Chain A
Amino acid sequence: MKFTIQVNEGPYQHQATDSAYLFTKAALEKGHEIFRVFFYHDGVNNGTRLTTPPQDDRNIVKRWGELSAGHDLGLVICGAAAQRRGIVDDGEAERNGKDATNIAEGFRISGLGQLVEGAIQSDRLVVFGD
């Protein structure tokens, strides 16, 4: 079965992204397809490579990236939500004259249409949020 996952909250503040990650991992292990993970609202903050969690805690950002690399999983950050919150890739930096980027490995910034397309193309949309 094909799933799209929506993540509405950032890392560490709320459990939503942890639940979404563990669900996504379990679905992949069962042989399901994750069409896309879409990060919206403060969920876009899952995609900054500049986090430095303590050694004895999980690295939420890196963990998503590793799952993505291992399963060819699309991690899509909403562009409009990312602009508000300062998640920047090369394209955004150029368009908006920013002097730095912070997007993490495995993530990409795209439009809200990617969420809607995910809902159309997938058998299920599962939302994790506050």
Chain B
Amino acid sequence: MSEIKKFMYVNRRAPYGTIYAWESLEVVLIGAAFEQDVSMAFIDDGVYQLIKGQDTTGLEMKNFSPTYAALGDYEVTKIYIEKESLEERGLTLDDLQHLTWEDEDEDWAEKDSIQLISRAEMVKVFADQDVFFNF
């Protein structure tokens, strides 16, 4: 019962056009309390979720993008961005939020949460997971 599973949240949806991105982030936040080994992958349009400078005022929708910055506090520290998806959309890491976490084992040193990896590397990351959450 106390076995720790490797959870992979796979994000392939853009924000706002549908609610999937926001409600899946809610699962990640709630799931953090269960102390599993959590990773998130951003693939295809999912990379749009992390773009900087989102302003939803004109939509009268909640701008949930600041929530990603809190993921480190929830000990969600492995955030994989697929390089091919980012490049296909003409984006670079500079277009995305800079997400960090504090490593208590190293005197709370600030570390990057985001890892930009190729699709081939992502396949290897996936091969190491137990459960996939798809939204």
Contact = CB atoms under 8 A, between A and B. Distances in A.
- Quick check: do A and B touch in the complex, using CB within 8 A? yes
Interface of A: 6, 8, 40-41, 80-81, 111-113, 115-117, 119-121, 125, 127, 129
Nearest to B130: A119
B58 to A, nearest CB: 21
Given A125-B132, A127-B133, A129-B134, A116 B27 contact: yes
Nearest to A8: B135
Taking chain B's interface residues, is the majority helix, strand, or loop, or is none over half, making it mixed? mixed
Contact of B131 (A40, A113, A119): A119
B109 to A, nearest CB: 29
Interface residues of B, number: 19
Given A41-B19, A41-B23, A112-B26, A119 B5 contact: yes
B68 interface: no
A111 B134 CA distance: 18
B7 interface: yes
Contacts of A112: 26-27, 30-31
Nearest to B134: A127
B64 interface: no
B5 A120 contact: yes
A77 B7 CA distance: 21
Contacts of B27: 40, 112, 115-116
8 contacts: A8-B135, A41-B20, A80-B23, A116-B30, A116-B36, A120-B5, A120-B34, A129-B134
B33 interface: yes
Contact of B34 (A41, A80, A117, A125): A117
Interface of B: 1, 3, 5, 7, 19-20, 23, 26-27, 30-31, 33-34, 36, 131-135
Nearest to B36: A120
A19 to B, nearest CB: 14
A8 B31 CA distance: 17
B30 A111 contact: yes
Given A119-B131, A125-B132, A125-B133, A81 B23 contact: yes
A112 B3 CA distance: 20
Contacts of B135: 8, 40-41, 127, 129
